[in-house]
Amino acid sequence: MSYDYRSDRWLAVSVTKLETALTVSKEQFTGIVLIKAANQENFKVCCVCQLSIQSCLDRSGRISYEQSGETFYIPYSNIDLAEDKNPSSAPNEKNKVTFYIATNKKTGHMWATCVKKADVPSFSQGVVCSLKENFGFIERADVVREIFFHYSEYANNIAELVLGDDVQFNIQTRNNKEVATNISKLPEGTVVFEDVSTEKKRGTIAKIAKDRRDGLIHATNVTLCDESFKLSKEKRDKGVVSSVKESYGFLQILSDTSSTGVGDAQLFFHFNELYESTNTPVVVGDEIEFTIAYDPGNKSKPIAIRIRKLAKGSIRHEQSVSSQTYTGSVVQEPAVRTKKGSNLTSETGLIQYSVNGRDATVVYMVKDADLRYGDKVSFNLCETKRSSESGGRKAVNIKLLSRLGTRQGFVCSLKENFGFIETVSLDEEVFFHYTCYDGNVGELTIGSLVEYHMACRGGSRMSAENVKLVPKSKGYIEVQAPILSGKVSRIINSNPSNEKGDYCGLITVESNKSGESAVTYPFGIISLCNKRCPPDGTQVEFQVAQVSGQVDRAINVMVVKDVVNGKVDSIRGPTGFLDIENREKKVYFRLSDIQDNSTLHVGDSVQCVVVTDSNTSRTSALCVRKIKASTSFSNTEIETSERPQRLKVKVKSQNTTSEGPKVVLIRNPVGPPTNEEARKSTGFAPRVHRQSVGKALVA
């Protein structure tokens, strides 16, 4: 600096050019415009000239960008645009831009420079992650974010779109929110979220995966190595799969010693515990290795975890086969075989046999023999080393001696999806499901003759299977012509829980000849004409028939209705009671059971049929017919309707024979007169207003 005395001013001398105070980053960044710049002023001018930074910030735009997992915000102005300085071509809010970061060395302030719109692809890709009633969400492949879409934006039929489908779409901003438009379906596997490295690591991590969207690295395709069991000294047990369901199953422990002392009990396991991926599912009989743990929800329930399949024959255990041959019959078959596969939900059945005069049961494997309920078989007992008194014992070397033949019976009940069959021998009613019927269920009616096989599937109660309808031409019911009369001496016992007595009912026919005993005939549901069980002691008529060489049975059983006489004791609303001859108690009846549309009054003589309900043991009268009217109602000209119950007066306790003054009706009440002359001649005089009378007196 120098001072000029003539002009009295300071002068700059020896002026040299200084290096610039601005630095621009070499790395290009990508961000999103949050606030659009509103003026032409350059932010770096404020920084170099040290103008008011706050005033520049208020008029500049904002860009947000991510780096190393953190979000930063940086200002910019329209002069910092790389391509066109015209504000009309500047990027708008929510636009994706690329830029460099400029820094002032003196002040340390930073701003975005060379700002330009990023190359946005015409279509974005993603995977459908949620479907609602009329909208859904797509997980985007470019950013870790979901985007909304409406069903109307899908080009094809929306019913074809399911969760997990790969799609491409355009992005539009509506109501300040991004939405997907012009959605179309892509081939499966087009959208990839992760890049899996080819390098394989040894240890707890099998492969390294890097997310394309945010660069996050994580482990994938993790498998458990056998060395982990040795390092942790984990006790492993071995066993065989005994049953398989849809997503879980049960296994039988075959190790000589168990880590938890579970013994021979079956363990539950879930398919998620199979840590080795395999194309073949677990089936009954597979040998596996596992660890025994306790269910977190039930500390007393052991389960199998960390399951690994073993090769066939890996498990070896000592076993002994008895030389003695036993004979028995099948009392329980294995569970029903599924239609979609050959797996059984239970692979064991039960054989009942006698040893030392006592009945015993032993299991058999379905792979050893194909048996049915009731089959006679011979077998040997196989007992393993670790089997207890009853566990670990099974039947081997099974030979079929005889097979239970086909049975026949009559359909006696049809429900919504099941029914019951009455055996030909009238022993019992057998349950059957419509899925066990071979044919159209609509062909079945009450009384249809069918043939079937007996089976016991996973329970204690037997049921009918392979039910087939027997053609009418093959029916062999021989009916005898005469009609007999008898009395029901025992009702049908159709309740399976009631073990008292036999199933069939009995009808007793008394002999007319002296010295001859009464004859009884069995009957069932099919024997009844109206399929209603008559109560004990009911008089019936029937015919005798013989079915398939069995004993004679009663068919076409009809209740004989004895007509009795009585009188109407009382009537209360829609019901009443009758006083029947030779009966101490009154009999209940309904007015709807009155024949000939006649009207009954108390004291009328009637004829009716008395029946007793077998379920409630309540006696009632049916087919009530009026034969003689009561003397108090003999005059047919007097027709009065019965008063309502709420208006009735109880006069039974009053003494009507006492002498005294009586009230006699001399004139019936009449309504108001209709003409003017009658009004003047009868009734009261017209009403006189007091106000008008007062005025007249004053006048």
- Residue 149 confidence (pLDDT) above 90: yes
3-state secondary structure of 690: helix
Which runs of E-coded beta strand occur in 20-120? Answer: 22-24, 29-35, 61-67, 70-76, 96-104, 110-117
Q: Using 50, 70 and 90 to split pLDDT, how confident is the model at 699? A: very low
The residue assigned the tokens 């009940």 is 413
DSSP 114: E
End-to-end alpha carbon distance in the chain? 132
Residues 558-595: tens digit of each pLDDT:
888 778 889 999 998 889 999 988 888 889 899 888 88
In-domain check, residue 650: no
In-domain check, residue 35: yes
Residues 183-204: tens digit of each pLDDT:
999 988 888 887 777 776 666 5
Choose the final residue of a domain: 559, 592, 619: 559
Distances (CA, A) of 231 to 207, 222, 235: 22, 18, 11
In-domain check, residue 392: yes
Q: Using 50, 70 and 90 to split pLDDT, how confident is the model at 137? A: very high
Q: Which of 284, 291, 325, 287 is CA-nearest to residue 307? A: 291
Q: Cα angle vertex 273, ends 269, 276, to 5°?
A: 130
Choose the final residue of a domain: 351, 376, 402: 402
Instruction: Please indicate, yes or no, whether residues 396 and 412 belong to a single structural domain of this protein.
Output: no
Residues 38-60: tens digit of each pLDDT:
755 444 455 444 444 555 555 68
Instruction: Please indicate, yes or no, whether residues 535 and 591 belong to a single structural domain of this protein.
Output: no
Contacts within 8 Å (CB) and 24+ apart, 393-400: 393/362, 393/363, 394/348, 394/362, 394/363, 394/364, 394/365, 395/326, 395/351, 395/362, 395/363, 395/364, 395/368, 396/321, 396/368, 397/321, 398/364, 398/368, 398/369, 398/371, 400/369, 400/371, 400/375, 400/376
Instruction: Please indicate, yes or no, whether residues 389 and 330 belong to a single structural domain of this protein.
Output: yes
Residue 691's pLDDT is 52
Q: Which of 542, 502, 509 is CA-nearest to residue 526? A: 542
In-domain check, residue 273: yes
Mean pLDDT, rounded, for 530-538:
77
Residue 148's pLDDT is 94
- Give the rounded distance of the alpha carbon of 280 from its chain centre: 30
Neighbours of 384 (CB within 10 A): 17
Mean pLDDT, rounded, for 239-257:
77
- Residue 553 to residue 531: CA distance in whole angstroms: 16
Instruction: Please indicate, yes or no, whether residues 538 and 588 belong to a single structural domain of this protein.
Output: no
The radius of gyration of the chain's CA atoms, rounded to the nearest angstrom, is 50
Instruction: Please indicate, yes or no, whether residues 440 and 482 belong to a single structural domain of this protein.
Output: no
In-domain check, residue 605: yes
Instruction: Please indicate, yes or no, whether residues 484 and 555 belong to a single structural domain of this protein.
Output: yes
* Number of domains composing the chain: 7
Choose the final residue of a domain: 449, 474, 499: 474
Instruction: Please indicate, yes or no, whether residues 51 and 94 belong to a single structural domain of this protein.
Output: yes
In-domain check, residue 190: no
Question: Which amino acid, 593?
Answer: D
Neighbours of 168 (CB within 10 A): 20
Instruction: Please indicate, yes or no, whether residues 569 and 528 belong to a single structural domain of this protein.
Output: no
The residue assigned the tokens 């975890």 is 305
- Residue 688 confidence (pLDDT) above 70: no
Residue 698's pLDDT is 40
- Residue 337 confidence (pLDDT) above 80: no
Instruction: Please indicate, yes or no, whether residues 262 and 299 belong to a single structural domain of this protein.
Output: yes
In-domain check, residue 209: no
3-state secondary structure of 345: coil
In-domain check, residue 324: yes
- Residue 77 confidence (pLDDT) above 50: yes
Instruction: Please indicate, yes or no, whether residues 428 and 387 belong to a single structural domain of this protein.
Output: no
Residue 502's pLDDT is 75
Q: Strand 429-433 to strand 177-185: parallel, antiparallel, or no bridges (unpaired)?
A: unpaired
Q: Which of 141, 135, 192, 211 is CA-nearest to residue 169? A: 141
CATH of the domain at 416: 2.40.50.140
Task: List the domain range (segments joined by +) for residue 446.
Answer: 407-474
Residues 372-384: tens digit of each pLDDT:
777 888 988 887 6
Residue 278's pLDDT is 53
Instruction: Please indicate, yes or no, whether residues 95 and 149 belong to a single structural domain of this protein.
Output: no
Residues 107-119: tens digit of each pLDDT:
888 889 888 887 6
3-state secondary structure of 412: strand
Instruction: Please indicate, yes or no, whether residues 421 and 483 belong to a single structural domain of this protein.
Output: no
Mean pLDDT over the full length of the chain:
76
